[in-house]
Structure 1
Amino acid sequence: MNLTIGIITVSDTRTTATDQSGNLIRSLAAEKQFTVIGPLIVKDDCQEIQTAYQTLCQQNVDVIITNGGTGIAKRDVTIEAIQPILKLEIPGFGEFFRSLSYQEIGTHAMASRTVAGFDHADHLLFALPGSTSACRLAMEQLILPEVYHLIKERRK
């Protein structure tokens, strides 16, 4: 099964040249032979995030990975943008991510609102922090090892 992954970077400051996290996600996914679209870079704005999400859905992606905007700052709105889109949340993803993150950064991990789930059309979504090390942790320890299993289970 060949999966297509779409990437959205949520940031008020990143550009194509400075998007280390989006490019890392792209590189790690490409190494595992996924077809990759993006990263699309959008501002910390609910409408822009949802528009980018819809753009990727129209390109027949299987998985959408966002990075950025998952913290607790007032301008962090990724979760507010995507939570209404989720039909089925996968709570274990956020729980495992925060647990693994705690091992690396301590109690700062509690501020991460990382989530995963499926939308109405069964696209699998992961919302990651913007930190490059957090994206590496999520990709290497959670997403890449489990993405095929999650998609297979949902498509039963």
Structure 2
Amino acid sequence: MKKVAILTISDSRTLETDKSGKFITEKLTKAGLAITTRIVVNDDLVNIQAAYLQLEQQAPDIIITNGGTGIAHRDVTIPAITPLLKRLLPGFGEAFRQISFEEIGTRALASQALAGFNYRYQLTYCLPGSQNACQTALDKLIIPEYEHLLFESSPQRKEVHHHAH
């Protein structure tokens, strides 16, 4: 069973009022993943990095952040997390914005949602704080593909040449 840590980034939410964090927890639990930790941190670059690295040390398979992915002055999740990632998966953000564009129109263009792997090969997703956005990402992009991404990126995996499917 894959282990997931959830980091909610918000100036206003607490663990009790963190609807998106609770939603992600319920959704992934139903999908057969184990949520090991859920924490809330404020929109502060250093605090976000400290919390993320703390989660990274707990050795989850996946770390999901939610909140702070927009373009407002306080939205610093992306500049905080990006330097901690070894490899980005640009296709995730592109697909997320495309799907969101179909749902909410041009407002989707302000989303900097991203995915990648950190230096410990943990799959990281940075999602917006809105519950609808989290649901879109989980249903359409994360739940269908996380196992394949983790398998492909595993350092234990022997390089086998095969054609893309």
TM-score by length of 2: 0.92
Give the corresponding residue for 1:149. Answer: 148
Amino acid in the other structure paired with 1:87: K
Give the corresponding residue for 2:54. Answer: 55
- Provide the C-alpha distance between the structure 2 equivalents of 1:48 and 1:147, rounded to a whole number of angstroms: 27
- Provide the C-alpha distance between the structure 1 equivalents of 2:56 and 2:35, rounded to a whole number of angstroms: 13
**Structure 1 runs of 4+ off > 2 angstroms?**
none
**SS of the counterpart of 2:69?**
coil
Amino acid in the other structure paired with 2:85: L
Amino acid in the other structure paired with 1:139: L
- Provide the C-alpha distance between the structure 2 equivalents of 1:3 and 1:31, rounded to a whole number of angstroms: 13
Amino acid in the other structure paired with 1:141: K
Q: Aligned-pair distance for 1:38?
A: 3.0
- Provide the C-alpha distance between the structure 2 equivalents of 1:38 and 1:137, rounded to a whole number of angstroms: 22
Q: Aligned-pair distance for 1:110?
A: 0.2
What RMSD, in angstroms, separates the aligned Cα atoms of the two structures? 0.8
Give the corresponding residue for 1:82. Answer: 81
- Provide the C-alpha distance between the structure 1 equivalents of 2:19 and 2:36, rounded to a whole number of angstroms: 16
Q: Aligned-pair distance for 1:80?
A: 0.6
> Residue deviations 1:4-46, cap 9 Å, x none?
0100000000012211101011111111121102320000011
> Residue deviations 1:98-135, cap 9 Å, x none?
00001110000000001100011111100000000000
Larger Rg: 2
| Structure 2 residue 83 is the aligned partner of structure 1 residue 91 | no
Give the corresponding residue for 2:121. Answer: 122
Give the corresponding residue for 1:23. Answer: 22
| Structure 2 residue 127 is the aligned partner of structure 1 residue 134 | no
Contact 1:26 1:38 in 2 (8 A): no
**Percent identity between the aligned chains?**
48
Give the corresponding residue for 1:5. Answer: 4
Size of the aligned set, in residue pairs, is: 155
Deviates more, 1:129-138 or 1:44-53: 44-53
Give the corresponding residue for 2:71. Answer: 72
Structure 2 stretches of 5 or more lacking a match? 158-165
TM-score by length of 1: 0.97
- Provide the C-alpha distance between the structure 2 equivalents of 1:83 and 1:55, rounded to a whole number of angstroms: 16
Give the corresponding residue for 2:32. Answer: 33
**SS of the counterpart of 2:144?**
helix
